[in-house]
Amino acid sequence: MGSKSQQQVQVTPSATAALLVVMYIAAFVAAFNENIINVALHDIMAAFSVSATTAQWLVSGYMIVTSIFTAIMAFLSGRFSTRKLLFFACGCMVAGEVLCLIAPSFSVLLPSRILQAAGSGILFPLMMNVVLSCAPREKLGLYLSLGGACITLGPAFGPVISGLMCTLFGWRAVFVVSLVGGIVVAAAGVKLVQNVGERSSTTLDILSVVLLAAGITAFVYSVGEFSTNPIAGIVALFAAIVLLGLFAARQLKLEHPVLNVRPMASVRFWPACLLVVVSMMTTFSMSVLLPLYFEGAYGMTALVAGLLILPAIACNAVTSIVGGRVMDARGAWPLLPVGFALIAVGQIAISMTAASMNIGVVVALTVVVYAGVGLVLSPSQTAGLETLPAAEHPHGTALLNTWNMIAASFGPSLFIGLLSSSAATAGAAGAATDVAQAIGFATAVRVAAVIAVVGFVASLVYARRESHMSH
């Protein structure tokens, strides 16, 4: 099997363009699918009588599975063709959407949602691998940023469209649009997607996958428990450290590791991973917290909540493209520090404003935060990849995407836990329900702002060092 190629052919510019368009659309649909549940969480909590900390596993569980499939993409892309991976991913998404539509209980809804995650976990790195294989080297930043913009635009339309469907037809209807999207991508792939990249005879180490899955799950659980049950949180965190340590040690010994962790030893690469984690925690956590704030504190419909988030995420898409072009021309300095400064300032201001129920100011400041994320997320990934030899790009891509998904897994768990515990404390002290929700939101964003400040300091050091090295 290792001797077989992926039936690679000389691809014409028009065929390459068509291939990239399909992969961008696939990433858009996968990203759209990530966020469709957020505005419906309130209604799902009511329908199945579950708490916010339980309902958030529809988000965190989804992202955990996405991170697992992202991590094993080096194996999958070596063993299976581009077309097979695309169709398998679309199949997982479509099947999961159908099951979510008919789920009679939360215990059925959660695994159905997780089935969708397998598709997203394949499509994101598959798109990046195709871009790395087809895009001109001198325009790599732009092409990756276009992919990043698609991943951002998906969540931009997600809250609005799913909010509309939820408001008009109930929470189950949020899965219809992404169901159709998965079918459309698969149909387009039949004619337009060609196999790119090289095949290999690598094997999958199942124990590594188990250690990684258990470690990430324990870590996400620990983060969510710290605000309500510190002892359980500490025990789970210790278990996570042990499991992930065993995973990393095993990867160094395997001839064909599930996830090649050696690039993490590079002092030029691992800081980029840190920046990716901070920026993804920001964007994904805000996408979960904001609907809970708008619906819980103001009693808004899912549609209105989605519309209020749209300007911020649309701005994020624009700054993602601008960031890619700036980076191609001038590098990461001063792009990354400026982006993280916007995130930190915006979140600090939100944390000071949200509890006073000044929604107009919160919406405006959210635009500032998301504009900053657009300047750092894709450029951080590109900056990290450019520090590696071309032969290590697939490993670097897998690592960056894995860190991306891990951040998106534990970010919501952390911040929803903080929101819930702070709101409960405020309620016990006599605050009205809406005011308590606003206080909980402000508390969660305050912690996010501290993390953003850490990101700013790290980006300043990283960008200045890379700037000096490039000269």
pLDDT of 210-260, one tens digit each?
Answer: 999 999 999 888 887 877 788 988 999 999 999 999 999 999 998 888 888
Domain match, 118 and 186 both? yes
- Amino acid identity, position 195: N
How large is the greatest C-alpha to C-alpha distance in the chain, in angstroms? 70
Inter-residue contact 78 to 199 (CB < 8 Å):
yes
In a domain, residue 262? The reply is yes
Look at the chain and count its residues.
Answer: 471
Residues 167-220 have pLDDT tens digits of: 888 899 999 988 998 999 899 888 877 777 666 667 788 999 999 999 999 988
The model's pLDDT over 7-36, given as tens digits with 9 standing for 90+, comes to 444 557 777 778 888 888 898 888 888 878
Within a domain: 449: yes
Answer whether 307's CB lies under 8 Å from 158's CB: no
> What one-letter code names the amino acid at 262?
R
Q: Domain for residue 359, yes or no?
A: yes
Contact 92, 119 (CB under 8 A): yes
Task: Kindly indicate the confidence band of residue 68, based on its pLDDT and cuts at 50, 70 and 90.
Answer: confident
Whether residue 4 is predicted with pLDDT greater than 50 in this model: the reply is no
Same domain flag for 186 and 240 = no
Q: Are residues 214 and 281 in the same domain?
A: no
In a domain, 7, yes or no: no
Q: Are 226 and 363 found together in one domain?
A: no
Backbone angles phi, psi at 202, to 5 degrees: -65, 155
Tokens found for residue 435: 């005011």
* Residue at 189: amino acid letter: G
Percent of the chain at pLDDT exceeding 90: 27
Q: Is the pTM of this model over 0.85?
A: no
**In-domain check, residue 2:** no
Burial of residue 80 (number of CB atoms within 10 Å: 0-12, 13-18, 19+) = middle
Domain range spanning residue 229?
Answer: 205-257
pLDDT of residue 3: 40
Max mean pLDDT among 128-137, 145-154, 164-173, 339-348 falls in 339-348
| Number of domains forming the structure of the chain | 2
Q: Of 257, 272, 287, which residue is a domain's last?
A: 257
User: Would you list the DSSP string of 242-269?
Assistant: HHHHHHHHHHHH-SS-SS--GGGG-TTT
Looking at mean pLDDT, say which of 202-206, 411-415, 441-445 comes out highest.
441-445
CA-to-CA distance for 433 and 389, rounded, in angstroms? 54
Give 295-330 as a 3 state SS string: HHHHCCCHHHHHHHHHHHHHHHHHHHHHHHHHHHHH
Q: Do 178 and 252 belong together in one domain? A: no
How many angstroms separate the CA atoms of 67 and 60, rounded? Answer: 10
Question: CA 139 to CA 157: how far, in whole Å?
Answer: 27
CB neighbours of 313 closer than 8 A, spacing ≥ 6?
A: 152, 153, 155, 156, 159, 287, 370
221/349 same-domain check: no
pLDDT at position 471 is 58
Phi and psi based region of residue 440 (left: phi greater than 0; alpha: psi -120 to 50; beta: remaining): alpha
Tell me the pLDDT tens digit for each residue of 335-354: 889 999 999 999 999 999 98
- Over residues 57-84, mean pLDDT: 83
Could you read off the pLDDT of 313-342 as tens digits, one per residue? 778 878 877 887 787 777 766 788 999 999
* pLDDT at position 341: 94
